Amino acid sequence: MAKALTNTEFNFKGQTNVYHGKVRDVYSIGNDKLVMVATDRISAFDVILPKGIPFKGQMLNQIAAKFLDATADIVPNWKLATPDPMVTVGVMCEGFPVEMIVRGYLCGSAWRAYKSGVREICGVKLPDGMRENERFPEPIITPTTKAEIGEHDADISKEEILAQGLATHEEYELLEKYTLALFKRGTEIAAERGLILVDTKYEFGKHNGTIYLMDEIHTPDSSRYFYAEGYQEKFEKGEPQKQLSKEFVREWLMENGFQGKEGQQVPEMTDEIVEGISNRYIELYENITGETFVKNECEDIYSRIENNIAEYLK
């Protein structure tokens, strides 16, 4: 079984802070740089699962780096370099405390809400008579607040964002514009790979007064993809779509009685389960990027990352 990196406690020259997220560990260097380590941790239902997934961090980091480069003409982004397969170094931004969720299709949590009778999400009115996995006439933006670990993100409307001063009117107009333009580009790239970009999330911040795209983009952790082939037929028959996303992990957890609720136990993650998830992520990587995934196998991942970052920061 390949090794997985689930924990980092680095101390780099000039380090001023460290933040351990659900999946990423972010090191602040001075007051202008961030070192983001994509670990092999995996989370679902806002819970970090007990075992890491080999190569997951490498895959997510490489997908995000590829799509940051492919969208840099739309909006400036935080990426400066990728000194290690699991690391991105970028400029420090002051993040907006909201995530911009954009949906092209009615599925996931939006479908669950719709099925229960909800006809407005985040201030966006939805027409009656829609079916699961149906395409919206135009993509819709349904922002959420950014939750701390263990808490759930909460839906928030544009009006609430403005009323709470989480962004100015001018800033929010730009966030919406960038979100739709990025989603359009992501949709076009996905179509070239025989995929449908169903929904995704973007995070933005400000650097020297300018809005930047931050964090990951168009990865299977932040996005949902369908295979284009067979989409229409499955939709007409009301059958589940063939998906490229982390949804298969959530489905495995739900089948085994876990949805992140109090008192529930995460099912046992056997080596077989862990390897299966890793292989699914490789399938996601290769389908999304159109490239063969090259495993960066290493006996001591921790030291490799530490050395590569230290060398870059010299």
For residues 182 and 269, membership in a common domain is answered with no
Give tens-digit pLDDT for 4-15.
999 999 999 999
**pLDDT, position 240:** 92
CATH number at residue 105: 3.30.470.20
For residues 188 and 111, membership in a common domain is answered with yes
CA angle 168, 175, 209 (to 5 degrees): 60
**pLDDT, position 159:** 96
Within-domain flag for 119: yes
Within-domain flag for 230: yes
**pLDDT, position 152:** 64
For residues 147 and 237, membership in a common domain is answered with yes
Provide the domain limits for residue 237: 95-244
Give tens-digit pLDDT for 119-172.
999 999 999 999 999 999 999 999 999 866 555 678 999 999 999 999 999 999
Within-domain flag for 105: yes
Residues of the chain with pLDDT under 50: none
For residues 101 and 197, membership in a common domain is answered with yes
Within-domain flag for 219: yes
CATH number at residue 303: 3.30.200.20
**pLDDT, position 151:** 58
- Tokens describing residue 257: 């009685």
For residues 77 and 195, membership in a common domain is answered with no
For residues 129 and 191, membership in a common domain is answered with yes
For residues 216 and 283, membership in a common domain is answered with no
Helix H, strand E, coil C: the string for the chain is: CCCCCCCCCCCCCCEEEEEECCCEEEEEECCCEEEEEECCCCEECCEECCCCCCCHHHHHHHHHHHHHHHCCCCCCECEEEEEECCEEEEECCEECCEEEEEEEECCHHHHHHHHCCCCEECCEECCCCCCCCCEEEEEEECCEECCCCCCCCCECCHHHHHHCCCCCHHHHHHHHHHHHHHHHHHHHHHHHCCEEEEEEEEEEEEECCEEEEECCCCCCCCEEEEECCCHHHHHHHCCCCCEECCHHHHHHHHHCCCCCCCCCCCCCCCHHHHHHHHHHHHHHHHHHHCCCCCCCCCCCHHHHHHHHHHHHHC
Domain count, the chain: 2
For residues 275 and 291, membership in a common domain is answered with yes
For residues 146 and 35, membership in a common domain is answered with no
**pLDDT, position 1:** 78
For residues 19 and 148, membership in a common domain is answered with no
Within-domain flag for 195: yes
For residues 178 and 307, membership in a common domain is answered with no
